[in-house]
């Protein structure tokens, strides 16, 4: 393995290391030594510590990084990568069996990766502090997945709704969000086209119905931007489902508009 890394071609673009035994830090050190051609790296179920992540941070042209079930990765290793890899577009972090990645590392992403388009956080517990930073600074973020995060509730999703203007696709799984949080997303993310919610106990069928109404009302009022803004201010989540139904009953016309 080490011999391969030392002699690998400078034309190497993608590297995937999955379920490899032994210490991979040395391998990654040799790979990252001046290798600017690597664009995509997947590390899954490996014994990789911050030394290894510091090494791959030398792949300064890297655009895609997947860190899956690498329990020794911490904020320090993640910060090394994002500070040196300014071209990152896609970042997946599966924090399986570790609490070593948190707000410090995520805030670094917000500062150093303004061009990031896709962010997946699994088993990571950010707070509103880091989510606010990401939502405010990463204006090109189009795809976001938050799974198995016990710290992400309605307040955090209110931040996403207010700041993530480019967000198109959102996946939520196993987070303590309620119907109110989903309604905020429906009214706050103008580009949102797909929401996937799974295993969130605070969400029921009313949320899908109210989101459908919100999307219809925005389409119906699209000819008058000021009316859309006014409606968003009046129909705060506290008014909940009844007020939305009063303004946008589920008629055949609304069904047609939503399908368009």
Q: pLDDT tens digits for 165-193?
A: 899 999 999 999 998 888 888 778 888 88
Q: Quick one: 141 and 238 in the same domain?
A: no
Residues 219, 175 within the same domain: no
Question: What's 51's domain CATH number?
Answer: 3.80.10.10
Distances in Å between the alpha carbon of 79 and those of 83, 102, 108, 109, 176?
6, 11, 6, 8, 28
Q: Same domain, yes or no, for 225 and 145?
A: no
* Ranges of H-type helices in 20-153: 25-32, 50-56, 75-84, 103-112, 128-137
Report the Cα 174 to chain-centroid distance in Å: 15
Work out how many domains the chain is built from and give that number: 2
Collapsing DSSP states into helix, strand and coil, what is residue 175? coil
- Indicate whether 8 and 134 sit together in one domain: yes
Supply the pLDDT for residue 40: 95
For residue 198, the cross-strand partners are: 173
Residues 224, 183, single domain; the answer is: no
165 and 255 together in one domain: no
Indicate if 12 and 78 belong to the same structural domain: yes
218 and 189 within one domain: no
pLDDT value of position 74: 92
Sequence-ordered list of residues with C-beta below 8 angstroms from that of 49, at least 6 positions apart, any chain: 25, 72, 73, 77
| Whether residues 124 and 249 fall in one domain | no
| Single residue among 188, 206, 224 that ends a domain in this structure | 206
Domain boundary among 191, 206, 221: 206
pLDDT tens for each residue of 121-174: 999 988 889 998 999 999 999 999 999 988 889 988 888 888 898 999 999 999
What is the Cα 147 distance to its own chain's centre? 10
Which structural domain, as residue segments, surrounds residue 227?
Answer: 207-260
In this predicted model, which residue has the larger pLDDT, 215 or 59? 59
* pLDDT, mean of residues 69-74: 89
Report residue 255 as tokens.
């069904």
- Cα–Cα nearest to 227, from 241, 247, 202: 247
Which among 160, 191, 206 is the end of a domain?
206
């Amino acid at each position: 393995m080490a011999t391969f890394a030392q002699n690998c071609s400078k034309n190497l673009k993608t590297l995937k290391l999955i379920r490899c035994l032994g210490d991979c830090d040395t391998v990654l050190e040799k790979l990252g030594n001046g290798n600017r051609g690597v664009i995509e790296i997947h590390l899954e179920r490996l014994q990789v510590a911050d030394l290894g992540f510091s090494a791959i941070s030398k792949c300064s042209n890297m655009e895609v990084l997947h860190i899956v079930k690498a329990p020794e990765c911490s904020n320090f290793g993640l910060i090394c990568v994002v500070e040196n890899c300014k071209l990152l577009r896609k970042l997946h972090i599966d924090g399986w069996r570790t609490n070593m990645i948190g707000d410090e590392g995520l805030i670094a992403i917000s500062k150093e990766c303004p061009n990031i388009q896709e962010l997946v956080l699994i088993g990571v517990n950010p707070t509103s502090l880091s989510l606010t930073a990401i939502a405010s600074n990463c204006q090109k973020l189009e795809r976001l997945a938050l799974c198995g995060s016990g710290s992400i509730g309605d307040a955090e999703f209110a931040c996403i709704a207010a700041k993530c203007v480019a967000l198109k696709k959102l996946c939520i799984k196993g987070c303590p969000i309620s119907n109110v949080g989903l309604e905020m997303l429906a009214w706050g993310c103008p580009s949102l086209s797909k929401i996937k919610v799974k295993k969130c106990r605070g969400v029921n069928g009313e949320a899908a119905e109210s989101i459908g109404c919100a999307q219809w009302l925005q389409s119906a009022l699209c000819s008058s931007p000021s009316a859309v803004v006014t409606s968003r201010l009046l129909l705060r989540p506290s008014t909940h489902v009844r007020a939305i139904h009063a303004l946008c009953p589920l008629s055949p016309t609304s069904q047609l508009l939503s399908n368009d």
